[in-house]
Structure 1
Amino acid sequence: MEDFDTLCSSFPGAGLTIQWGGSHVYKIGGKIFAMAGLPEPDAPLSVIFKTSEITAHILLEAGSARKSSYLPQGNWLEVSGSAMSAADLADYLRQSHDFVGQTLPRRIRSGFGVGDSSAKVGKR
């Protein structure tokens, strides 16, 4: 959990909220981009993040992730234990931060320094 917290808190505008029974939920502009928790005391860390439809399809087909049962709508994926390397997971968490950040209104997005503030992002 410590590595997850260190990484997610390093992203521009990221804020941590502890909710839902101790889950570490990271948000940007009030919108969730990643969360992690321990389903049971001895269970491996479970990480949930948002991704694009294409990336979700690739990771699901490869067996690297599964659809999140907690966030069934949209492209929220869950990775547990060693299903994915730490480096790959870190890349997907960065992408999730950027992906969700791009959905924020331009004035909020530019305040966090997320992406190109002139880019148009549709619902995904």
Structure 2
Amino acid sequence: MTYDEYNAFCGSLPATTYVCQWGGSHVWKVGGKVFAIGGWKKDGEVGITFKTSDLSYEILKEQPGLRPAPYLASRGMKWIQHYAEPGLDDDGLKQYLTESHRIVALGLSKKKRKELGLEDRLDAEIR
């Protein structure tokens, strides 16, 4: 996945905003909270970081091309960085980005989710 494809996909998720920060990283947020970061790679390769469930974190952190996200995981947060091949294919990466968006959105207040039009969507997913 290229950064253009990553940005297009993250932008297609509901109630997202984009900001370029932290030295040029492509940061995507829902309700003001980060759910995906594209960047932090020095060699020009695409690096994509996303939040995971506890179980997904335990599984993914051992996979080739994936690792606990620098900085974030060292602080006890469950974030994975896709940094090299083989990593995840594009479809798998999209699934984890979608799940990261959902996890972060669920952490927002009910009022904020309602303001963003996410409340009904997330309630349907939980059922």
| 1:46 corresponds to | 47
Instruction: Report the Cα distance in structure 2 between the residues aligned to 1:64 and 1:3, rounded to whole angstroms.
Output: 19
Instruction: Report the Cα distance in structure 2 between the residues aligned to 1:36 and 1:8, rounded to whole angstroms.
Output: 10
Pick the structure with more helix per residue. 2
Q: 4+ residue runs of structure 1 moved beyond 6 angstroms?
A: none
Report the Cα offset of residue 62 of structure 1. 3.4
Task: Tell me if structure 1 keeps the 8 A contact 2:51–2:79.
Answer: yes
Q: Secondary structure at the match of 1:18?
A: strand
Report the Cα offset of residue 61 of structure 1. 3.1
Q: Secondary structure at the match of 2:61?
A: helix
| 1:20 corresponds to | 22
Q: Secondary structure at the match of 1:116?
A: helix
TM-score normalised per structure 1 = 0.86
Aligned length: 117
Instruction: Report the Cα distance in structure 2 between the residues aligned to 1:50 and 1:38, rounded to whole angstroms.
Output: 15
| 1:122 corresponds to | none
Task: Tell me if structure 1 keeps the 8 A contact 2:65–2:83.
Answer: no
| 1:76 corresponds to | 79
Report the Cα offset of residue 107 of structure 1. 1.1
Report the Cα offset of residue 113 of structure 1. 3.3
Task: Tell me if structure 1 keeps the 8 A contact 2:33–2:104.
Answer: yes
Alignment gaps of 5+ in structure 1: 120-124
Report the Cα offset of residue 71 of structure 1. 1.0
Query: Is it true that 1:116 corresponds to 2:118 in the alignment?
Result: no
Query: Is it true that 1:35 corresponds to 2:42 in the alignment?
Result: no
Instruction: Report the Cα distance in structure 2 between the residues aligned to 1:98 and 1:113, rounded to whole angstroms.
Output: 13
Specify whether residues 56 and 64 from structure 1 end up closer, same or farther in structure 2 by C-alpha distance, changes over 3 A only: farther
Task: Tell me if structure 2 keeps the 8 A contact 1:38–1:44.
Answer: no
Report the Cα offset of residue 25 of structure 1. 0.5
Task: Tell me if structure 2 keeps the 8 A contact 1:56–1:77.
Answer: yes
Report the Cα offset of residue 94 of structure 1. 0.2
Q: Give percent identity, aligned residues only.
A: 33
Instruction: Report the Cα distance in structure 1 between the residues aligned to 2:113 and 2:41, rounded to whole angstroms.
Output: 33
